[in-house]
Every structure is written in C-alpha cells, then in structure tokens.
Amino acid sequence: MSEISLVHEHVAASSTERYAVLNCGQLVTLAGPARARRGVLEMRELSIVENGGMLIANGLIQYVGFHADIVRHVDRQTKVIDARGCVVTPGFVDAHTHIAFAGTRANEFEQRLAGSTYQEIAAAGGGILSTVRHTRQATEETLLATVQHYAEWFLRTGTTTLEAKSGYGLSLESELKILRVLCALQETLALRVVPTLLAAHAVPPEFRENRTAYIALVTNEILPQVVAQHLASYCDVFCDEYAFTLDESRRILTAAKQAGLGLRIHAEQFSADGAVSMAAQLGATTADHLECTDARGIAAMRVAGVQPVLLPASVFCLGRSRYPNARAMIDTGLATILATDFNPGSSPTTSMPFVMTLACQQMKMLPSEALVSTTINAAYGLNMGNKIGSLEAGKAADFLIHEFRDYRELAYFAAVPNLPQVFIAGKLRNTAPQTTPTKSIAR
Ligand code: NIG
Ligand code: FE
C-alpha cells in the first residue's frame, strides 16, 4: 500500500506563508524515534520544550526550539501566532471512527437504560442494521452534509486526522457511496481523512439466510471496486459472535490483503475468541476494541507488531465495566492507540479529550501515555507517522493551542468544553476563544 495515498495532498500544500508560533508554555513535541512509542518508558517521554516555539512554512514545521531562538528568526514577512503561555500539542489523530451514518439511535439508548443489552437490540433488528436502513436511504449529498456536521465536532475538540469506516451500507452501491462521501469530506473540510472499508460490519438482512453469498459479494465485488476506485486504504471486519466468525473474517481480510489494503479488525469486544491471534497471523496494522483480550492475545500482538486500538468511550457509553487491559498492554511493551469509535450505537462521542479522561480514570493510563496514544502512536497506526503525530521539522504543522498550562489537564478536566485553537497544515481551522488559563499549582 502506498503511504497515505488517499490523503489528498492539497491539505499540506494549502499555505505558502511563514508563521512563528511563540510563547508555548509547554511545547509537547513528542519528538522521538521514527516509529510508534512502545512500552512504559517510551510512552511517558513527551519531549516537552518549556517556553518553546516553532517556525512554519508551506504548511510544514521548519524548526522547533526555544521561544527565544524562534524570536530571532521573526522578520517582517513572518506572521506571529501567540500561544500565550499555553500548552501546544500535535493535533489529535482519531484512528477508529464510524462517522458516516444517517440517523441517531437515542431510542436504543433508552432501551439499554431500561435493561436491554446491545446484543439483544441488534438481534431484534435494531443496532447496526437500523443505522444501515437510514444510511441506505440517505442521498450522497445529505450524507455528506451530515458527516460534515460531525466532522466540525471533531475539529472543535482538536482532531485533525480521522480514520473513517464505511459499514452502514452493506451493499455494493451503498458502501461505495459512503466511501465517496468520506473522500469528499476531506476535500470540503481540509480535515485529513483515512477511509476504511468495513463492508463486513454486519450481515445485511437480505443475506441473513445466505451468509456465504454476502462474503462472496464483499470479496468478489465490493473489495475489487473499492480498490480500483482508490476509495480506501484499509479493510476492517467486525469479528464477533453477532457479526462475522473467525473463519469468515479471515477470508475477507486475506482477500483484502491480497488486494493491497492494510488490515484492521474489530476484535474481542465481547469474548476472547482468538481474533487477536488471527490479526497477528495476518499482519494486521491494528486490532481494535480488545475488552476481553488476555495475555496470549497481548503476546501475539507484541510478536507481530500489531498496534492495539483501545476504545474506552464505547465501554463507557454501553454502560459496561470491562475495559481493555491497557496497563498489561503498555507494561508488556505494546504501542497503544486511543480512539473515539464514534458511532450512533456504542460510542456517540467525538471527543478525544474525553477518551483520554476515560483512559486515565478507567484503565489507569497516565496522561502522558494517553497523549502519545492519541497522537504519534495513532499516526503510525494509520501509516502516517512520518507526516503527522508529532511536532518535528519536516512534518505537517497540525497542532493545537490548548487553554491549559499543564498538558495533564487535558485528561484531568473531564468533559468540559475546553476548545483548543486548531491548526492544520499551519492554517487556523476554527476560532476558539482565546482566554488565559491559570497556572497549575504544582508540576
Ligand atoms: O465499534 N462493534 C462494532 N461496531 C461499532 C458499533 C456500531 C454500531 O453500534 O452502530 C463499534 O462499537
Ligand atoms: Fe468500531
């Protein structure tokens, strides 16, 4: 697979001006090796420059250093961005979302509160299939407008790159429609989008009695069309008792690999069924969810270099209590990723800071580990680590000026509307209020 071939380059080439970012109280660069950060030591090293600054030209970072050094390079052509002593970090990279859907499922939210389970609702024709009905009906224009609306929410809380899955179409026509919308999203909003084919999200009703025929449709028709039209970089499968079996998942992922796509997998959300070991055997880039993954799965990921994508907001929003064992994963040397899993059923949130809060509170990750997992590690999990995810010379100037003076406050303040100023390729993409935060009491 060519490096982020589907991420249109106009984003990076959008600015020809020169900028200096000054007065960064903590410039959290995340500079380090040219690979994902593995294990405790690497994931707690944020390479922070106190009183830092950056020079930016043509949408790329030219130089990272101390404020005092940067000031010397400011000439009359250089525009100054004043960080006012605040924390500056890379933009968030959300490596697992289902942003392309029509209709919400607030009704199921109530049903779950009354005692029904996610699986029971799905078995009764609700769940993913109810979103499929709405998404199939939506025109391409309506769906794009809906997706743009949600993309604005992502931008507001600092997400600058988004992996986005299809999976609410489940037919050739509807899956292609969704993937075209995801490609168009990038054109309209200048958010970086990495599209993933998830035709194996559920078996559509018209194939309920003939699953084999649906697998054949996915492998023989949908997959080749998606590849021919360059509509996706990755293929994902929902491998679960209520979705696709291990054997079915293997068939689809093997075909996708042969067709040149990278692999991701929804694995072991509800049971430890061996999906993670299979992902390792197939050389998947990531294995996602992993609520039930045990030591064997963790060892398999480590040996094969699979990155775990943890989605604590979906555990929280389903009202469940079993979170993935992030501590064991990090302590064993894995390069964890945190993502929202934004979708209308199990995880209706677009907020990476909220995910970081949950990761710290519920999975005992440190704020540093959570920040690495939402930036540089997520970038490598999308094969984009050489372009985004850290603030280093040569990388895209995708960064956030937060309303904090201490990076830990990103996870510490819980679900408050702290809106960063969001820059993508050096350009301000939103107009967050510029207020001056108080100093934290102790470092
Ligand atoms: O990642 N687990 C499968 N897919 C989504 C849920 C999709 C839905 O409920 O609509 C997830 O949680
Ligand atoms: Fe998901």
Going residue by residue through the chain, which has 443 residues, state the pLDDT in tens, using 9 for 90 and above.
333 333 334 444 444 689 999 999 999 999 999 999 999 999 999 999 999 999 999 999 999 999 999 999 999 999 999 999 999 999 999 999 999 999 999 999 999 999 999 889 988 889 999 999 999 999 999 999 999 999 999 999 999 999 999 999 999 999 999 999 999 998 886 799 999 999 999 999 999 999 999 999 999 999 999 999 999 999 999 999 889 999 999 999 999 999 999 999 999 999 999 999 999 999 999 999 999 999 999 999 999 999 999 999 999 999 999 999 999 999 999 999 999 999 999 999 999 999 999 999 999 999 999 999 999 999 999 999 999 999 999 999 999 999 999 999 999 999 888 789 999 999 999 866 666 666 666 55
Of all ligands present, the nearest one to the C-alpha of 318 is 1
C-alpha distances in angstroms, 21 versus 254, 314, 435? Answer: 46, 36, 17
CA distances for 396 relative to 9, 12, 245, 290, 305, angstroms: 11, 7, 40, 31, 26
Side-chain-side CA neighbours of residue 1 (13 Å): 27
Ligand 1 atom 1 nearest Cα: 341
- Evaluate: CB of 340 within 6 angstroms of ligand 1: no
Mutate to test the pocket of ligand 1, among 101, 118, 128, 244 (most ligand atoms within 8 A of CB): 128
**For position 1, what pLDDT does the model report?**
36
Q: Which residue's C-alpha comes closest to atom 9 of ligand 1?
A: 345
* Ligand 1 close to Cβ of residue 290 (< 6 A): no
Distance, CA of 7 to CA of 2 (rounded, Å): 11
Please, are residues 221 and 172 in contact by the beta-carbon 8 Å criterion?
yes
Neighbours of ion ligand 2 (CB under 5 A): 341
Residue 272 Cα to ligand 1 middle (Å): 17
Q: How much distance in Å is there from the Cα of 135 to the middle of ligand 2? A: 16
Spatial CB neighbours of 260, under 8 Å, sequence gap ≥ 6: 1, 227
- Which residue of 98, 198, 314 sits with most ligand 1 atoms within 8 Å of its CB, as the best mutation to test the pocket? 98
From the CA of 345, how far away is ligand 2's center (Å)? 10
Which ligand 1 atom sits closest to the C-alpha of 347? Answer: 12
Q: Is 26 in the pocket of ligand 1 (CB under 6 A)?
A: no
Q: Which pLDDT belongs to residue 92?
A: 98
